[in-house]
């Protein structure tokens, strides 16, 4: 064997050994990676949801404003017609300069622009024209501002949609890694640790169910009603941007559940974290309280016995999970 051939063979052997020696991620490392990616996805989707809500409100505002402008323009046109009729009569009697005739065939905007400068018009007519000019300018400015804001929000929504897609891509990459593992390995990474507290079951599709009671430290009737509504959604899929009734994201589930109890919550976690009254410690939590995790990017509902009812992330369903499994608590609110 030549020296060159031997060197090449050695290089191949070393490369193979290096590849074989590459450490396989541990269960803890994979779980941490998945949690990090899910947190990033939560942040992206909450911002996306917020922008979508702003966009819808702005679209409604623009529609309302356009209706107002249309009604105002109709009123302006009607008043212009009245002024024009008066001008016609004055012209017929020789009371108005012949140039007024030109106004009668002009557009409303031209009429206002030209008529305002005619000294032959009465002071009352001139005042009316000036008032109409002011109304049209004000409405035109409002419409322009609303449309400009709408364009800005549409641009932001596109950017956030791209962020959402990127976050979802990261989760899918991790899911592909999990799919390459054995069932036992995958279960060890995705399942929360076993908990005591009574009860058993699959939590409506993969979650941990415990004997959750709304007695004792349960919330008030509104919270109890919201919690009861949320429990009816167990097992339904998590979907980005969904607000029910058949699929949800984390804040969408909270909004829907409280709506069933007659309480209107904000759309996103960033809105909901400001609703209600702060809870100072886990020991003070009541069933139905909202709990925010990981810098308020995720929200769930306290279910008692150290458990949370929530819509976790892509690929999962509405279920119960232990507080300690979800992530670091950012805030707690009693509604």
Pick the catalytic residue from 250, 279, 291, 311: 250
How far apart, in whole angstroms, are the C-alpha atoms of residue 179 and residue 34? 13
Task: Respond yes or no: is residue 313 known to be catalytic.
Answer: no
Pick the catalytic residue from 47, 233, 267, 298: 298
Residues 6 or more apart whose CB falls under 8 angstroms from that of 310 comprise: 250, 253, 298, 299, 300, 301, 318, 319, 321, 326
> SS3 string of 84-149?
HHHHHHHHHCCCCCCCHHHHCCCCHHHHHHHHCCCCCCCHHHHHHHHHHHHHHHHHHHHHHHHHHH
Pick the catalytic residue from 164, 267, 310, 319: 310
Task: Respond yes or no: is residue 298 known to be catalytic.
Answer: yes
Task: Respond yes or no: is residue 250 known to be catalytic.
Answer: yes
How far apart, in whole angstroms, are the C-alpha atoms of residue 255 and residue 259? 6
Cβ–Cβ < 8 Å for 278, 330: no
Q: What amino acid positions are annotated as catalytic residues? A: 250, 298, 310
């Amino acid at each position: 064997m030549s020296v060159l051939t031997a060197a090449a063979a050695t290089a191949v052997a070393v490369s193979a050994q290096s590849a074989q020696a590459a450490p396989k991620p541990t269960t803890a490392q994979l779980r941490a990676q998945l949690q990090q990616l899910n947190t990033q996805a939560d942040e992206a989707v909450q911002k996306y949801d917020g922008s979508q809500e702003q966009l819808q409100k702005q679209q409604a505002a623009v529609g309302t404003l356009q209706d107002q402008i249309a009604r105002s323009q109709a009123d302006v046109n009607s008043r212009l017609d009245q002024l024009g009729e008066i001008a016609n009569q004055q012209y017929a009697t020789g009371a108005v300069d012949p140039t007024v005739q030109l106004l009668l065939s002009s557009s409303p905007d031209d009429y206002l622009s030209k008529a305002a400068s005619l000294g032959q018009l009465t002071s009352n007519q001139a005042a009316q024209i000036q008032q109409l000019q002011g109304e049209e300018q004000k409405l035109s400015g409002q419409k322009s501002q609303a449309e400009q804001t709408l364009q800005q929000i549409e641009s932001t929504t596109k950017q956030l949609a791209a962020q959402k897609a990127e976050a979802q891509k990261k989760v899918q990459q991790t899911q592909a890694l999990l799919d390459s593992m054995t069932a036992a390995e995958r279960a060890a990474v995705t399942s929360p640790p076993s908990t005591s507290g009574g009860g058993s079951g699959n939590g409506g599709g993969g979650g941990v169910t415990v004997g959750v009671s709304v007695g004792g430290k349960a919330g008030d009737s509104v919270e109890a009603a919201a919690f009861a509504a949320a429990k009816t959604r167990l097992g339904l899929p998590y979907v980005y941007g969904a607000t029910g009734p058949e699929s949800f994201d984390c804040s969408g589930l909270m909004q829907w559940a409280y709506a069933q109890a007659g309480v209107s919550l904000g759309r996103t976690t960033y809105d909901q974290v400001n609703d209600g009254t702060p809870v100072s410690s886990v020991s003070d939590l009541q069933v139905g309280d909202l709990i925010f995790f990981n810098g308020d990017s995720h929200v769930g509902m306290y279910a008692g016995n150290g458990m949370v009812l929530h819509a976790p992330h892509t690929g999962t369903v509405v279920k119960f999970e232990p507080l300690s499994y979800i992530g670091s608590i950012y805030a707690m609110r009693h509604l």
